Amino acid sequence: MQDRVILVASRWIGYPYQHHHIPDWDPPAGWPWHKVAYGRNSKGIDCSNFSSFCYNFALGVKLDTGIRPQAQRREVRGPGGRGILTIQTIERAPYETLVTKLQPADLLHIRNDNGRIAHVILWLGVVGVSPNRVPLILDATGGNHQDANGARIPIGVHIRPFSANSWYAGDFAHAHRIIRGIPSVRTGEAPEAEEGGALDP
């Protein structure tokens, strides 16, 4: 299941950062849009729509597409919208401890400068480690990141390092482990996931 989520996420590497629900949607000329770092309307996706899309496409688990509702959620509907899936939460810990606790396909929620949840990233873990042994993540974001060779990583969906001095590690709030809950989905009905995006107020 971890492989399925990561393989789906990898399909979109190179896509621009846009406030879209569907990565392949290319808006027609003149379509209203929110100005983003990429600088023009195009195919693309934002961080929380990306994480929701990957889990829905890979496993049939629909997450809230708004960044804060997604981060606050503790139960979702199981695969195919059936039953109640409990989300395991991994709390903040020192960097060296945290990176040993995280597992591939965990979703890490990151705070902004105001202390509010503003970003979500997909942990690659043992699936991806940089040449300098730094763990890697996959997300949709801006271009203020560098790889192990110091080259700037483009805006959009890309693999990026989770170094001890990164924004990701410094402002990490908590992580969600969704896959562990799939074998123990229980009877009942969780509230339906809500549509939103990274620009939620």
Q: pLDDT tens for residues 161-191? A: 999 999 999 999 999 999 999 999 999 999 9
Q: What pLDDT sits at residue 33?
A: 80
Is 196 part of any domain? no
Please give, one letter per residue, the 3-state secondary structure of 90-116: EECCCHHHHHHHCCCCCEEEEECCCCC
Neighbouring C-alpha atoms within 13 Å toward the C-beta of 3? 0
Determine contact, residues 31/41, Cβ cutoff 8 Å: yes
Contact present, 190 and 84 (Cβ < 8 Å): yes
Q: What pLDDT score was predicted for residue 201?
A: 47
Backbone phi and psi for residue 88, each to the nearest 5 degrees, phi listed first: -80, 140
pLDDT of residue 198: 54
Under a CB-based contact definition with an 8 Å cutoff, are residues 136 and 145 in contact? Answer: no
Residue 108 lies in a domain: yes
Within a domain: 70: yes
Q: pLDDT-based confidence at 94, cuts 50/70/90?
A: very high
* pLDDT mean over 31-40: 80
pTM: 0.94
Q: Is 77 part of any domain?
A: yes
Residue ranges of E strands in the chain: 75-77, 84-86, 88-91, 107-111, 117-123, 136-141, 145-146, 152-153, 156-161, 172-177
Q: Is residue 192 part of a domain?
A: no
pLDDT in tens, 123-164: 998 777 788 889 999 999 988 899 988 999 999 999 999 999
**pLDDT given for residue 134 in this prediction:** 92
pLDDT band at 197 (very low <50, low <70, confident <90, very high): low
Angle at 51 between CA 18 and CA 59, to 5 degrees: 135
Inform me whether the pLDDT recorded for 37 exceeds 90.
Answer: no
CATH code at 136? 3.90.1720.10
Report yes or no on 199 lying in a domain: no
Taken in order 43, 46, 51, 53, is the CA torsion positive or negative? negative
Count of structural domains, the chain: 1
Residue 177 lies in a domain: yes
